Amino acid sequence: MIIVYSVATLGILGLIYGLGLAYASRKFHVEVDPKIEKITEILPQANCGACGYPGCSAYAEAIVNNGVDINKCAPGGSAVLGQISKIMGVEATATERKVALIHCQSGGSNNTFFRYKYEGIPTCKAAVQLSNGPNLCNYGCVFQNDCLEACNFDAIHLDENGMRIIDKEKCTSCGACVKACPRDLIELVPVKKRVHVLCSSQDKGAVARPACGNKTACIGCGLCVKKCPVDAITLNNNLAVINYEKCINCGQCADVCPTAAIFDPLKEVRAKKKAEAKAKAEAAKKKVEAAKQKAAEDKE
């Protein structure tokens, strides 16, 4: 009997509350702008915070209610931007797509020189604090994967040497890895720019070069600064820094860099072309000389 009573009591109580709430939700219904819901659905739901708002729905609300710019969603990119601009009736001004770039090319955990073996808490933040990190280089990657774990989009991978490689297709430039790296090695750079300084060492050349596992440390020689035709490179604390607003992708800095700290994927192609051109010119020269010689012989 008591079971029947208890079930009935709770059932009736629940029913009354439920009906009451249902009635109240009708009676006290607040109109919400349907645009907010639509935009929230379009946004990638990564809740990464790259837009500066706590989560996608908060950003959608800010767009509709406060007229915030619609181009702040980095993970969504231009696809999301187009859809939002349709809903809002606002002209879309796309921001340049950026990708994360690691300013260190240590050669990976297999090649880097260590001064001791780190076996502590497996985070970069902890490793960096133990007598300036296990690396011989005081500025390089310490290989504990804080950036990998911070990435929500599976865009950072390890190569066979233990180097961190950023997948440009998957990277949404949300900036999570930039915040995660305790050595500030990661920067968001425009995807169109090709030429990068892949080193963050502020040591002088004599210290920086032997410490780097890949021998590609920036030694602060300043050749690139002199060579750059648009003055896009400056030397800060023995480290060359490219100003991407000025850079024109010419790659001359990569050509003169004595340690290959400045990386340009087209450098070899260019070098090959140059060599070919040189070979051709030499061949032509030889031909001319041979012809001259022949002419002289003929005269004789």
Partner 1 sequence: MELIGRIFALAIATIFVHNFVLARFLGLCPYIGVSKKLDSALGMGMAVIFVMTLASTFTWLIQTFVLVPLGLEFLQTIAFILTIASLVQLVEMVIQKTAPALYKALGVYLPLITTNCAVLGVAILNINEELNFIGAILNGLFAGLGFTLVLVLMAGIRERLDKAEVPASMKGMPIAMIVAGSMALAFLGFSGLNI
Number of H helices, E strands in the chain: 11, 8
Q: Does 20 bind partner 1 (CB under 8 A)?
A: yes
Find the helix or strand (DSSP H, E) in which 158 lies. strand 156-158
Report the nearest approach of partner 1 to the CB of residue 10 (Å).
6
Nearer to partner 1, 4 or 206 (CB): 4
Tokens describing residue 279 = 């070979």
Q: Pattern of binders to partner 1 over 25-54, x per CB under 8 A?
A: x--xxx------------------------
Q: Does 4 bind partner 1 (CB under 8 A)?
A: no
What phi and psi, each to the nearest 5 degrees, are found at residue 191?
-65, -25
Q: Does 24 bind partner 1 (CB under 8 A)?
A: yes
From 9-17, 212-220, 249-257, 271-279, give the range in contact with partner 1 by CB under 8 A. Answer: 9-17
Nearer to partner 1, 6 or 93 (CB): 6
Report the nearest approach of partner 1 to the CB of residue 12 (Å).
9
First CA to last CA distance, the chain: 135
Torsion of CA 96, 97, 100, 103, to 10 degrees: -40
From 16-24, 132-140, 200-208, 248-256, give the range in contact with partner 1 by CB under 8 A. Answer: 16-24
Nearer to partner 1, 26 or 117 (CB): 26
Q: Does 9 bind partner 1 (CB under 8 A)?
A: yes
Q: Does 10 bind partner 1 (CB under 8 A)?
A: yes
Q: Does 14 bind partner 1 (CB under 8 A)?
A: yes
Find out whether 267 and 248 touch, Cβ atoms under 8 Å: no
H-type alpha helices, the chain: 2-27, 34-42, 56-66, 77-88, 124-129, 146-150, 176-180, 205-211, 223-227, 252-256, 267-299
Nearer to partner 1, 47 or 111 (CB): 47
Find the helix or strand (DSSP H, E) in which 165 lies. strand 164-166
Nearer to partner 1, 30 or 206 (CB): 30
Total of residues contacting partner 1 (CB under 8 A)? 16
Nearer to partner 1, 125 or 215 (CB): 125
Residue 51's CB: how many other CB atoms inside 10 A? 24
The letter for the amino acid at 171 is C
Which residues of the shown chain bind partner 1 in the complex (CB under 8 A)? 2, 5-6, 9-10, 13-14, 17-18, 20-21, 24-25, 28-30
